[in-house]
Amino acid sequence: MGEILVEVATDVAFAHGVPAQLGISGDALNVAAAAAAAGARVGLLSVLTDDDLGKAIAARIVELGISPGLLTFRAGQQGVYLVHCDPDGQREFSYARSGSVGSSLGPDDVDPAVFAAAGSVVAGGIACAISASTRAAVVKAAALARRFVFDPNFRPRLTSVEDATEALLQLAPRTFLVTPSFPGETSALLGCSTAAEAAAKLRSLGAANVAVTCGAEGIQLEGEGRDSAWMDSVPAPSVVDQTGAGDAFVGTLTARLVLGDSLPVAARLGAAAASLVVGGKGGTGFIPSLEQTRAHAATAGTASSTPTGWTA
């Protein structure tokens, strides 16, 4: 659940007349696309414009293997962002999303029967930040879900540290899985100086499972009744654009957990999917199939640490 954005991407710095590529992205869509590619049956709760642009976005959603059944169409403007794609991660973003139809998502859009029946519900800090109504929708969904997955996805341009921290602390006790990034989010929102410390703190707040992503280094895992485990990253074959990599990790990890994989196995596939996604341009420029993800994960081996009680 969340906002879908129109993506305008360039390979050079923003300027008049530079060539750009139009795409459809946003964290919610990126997560949903990755989950569908990983084998899950996925619906996407979002609001689109009731015009030709909204129809085109809905067509792209279907093309990605996602059900359009939870989409709502309303009058208004679609959120847009411009991005200068840099393989080294030094990207420039500019957003035009204030008052977008996506930010009109609210608690009344959350169908209790659908959300209680879902194998998992995924939401992020961006949805909590774009409006009071979307945050209320996330809180309602978290209360209904059997497995609620939350990606803090802290964006200083959208919200303050204080508000993002409040959202995380409010939702952590209800989460089946929370996926903060280190060091940015764990330091700003949790005051933790290590990934292991952040994982332990979130577990103490009530999160059932934690996967702290540490960029190119790896992932810190901690789950119910199990010791912490460190998992090395999966190297990317090529890097074109890092947009959507974290979302691919969350979507793939969640899908595989719902489909029965253990946390380390699901996290390994999530890391492999993320490292393949950066080979495409844009949030959904390249979404690897499950077969491609599994093959790539196999080339990098298994978790570097598998404590007693984990199944790798």
- Residues recognised as catalytic: 247
Task: From 92, 160, 105, select the one nearest 132 (Cα to Cα).
Answer: 105
The span from the CA of 234 to the CA of 236, in Å, is 6
- H or E segment to which residue 123 belongs: strand 121-124
From CA 28, how far away is CA 46, in angstroms rounded? 8
Residue with token string 């939870």: 70
- Is the dihedral angle over the CA atoms 196, 293, 254, 179 positive or is it negative? positive
Give yes or no for a cis peptide into 173 (omega within 30° of 0). Answer: no
- Whether 242 and 278 have beta carbons less than 8 Å apart is answered as yes
DSSP character for 107? G
Full DSSP string of 209-264? EEEEE-TTSEEEEE-TT---EEEE----S--S--TTHHHHHHHHHHHHHHTT--HH
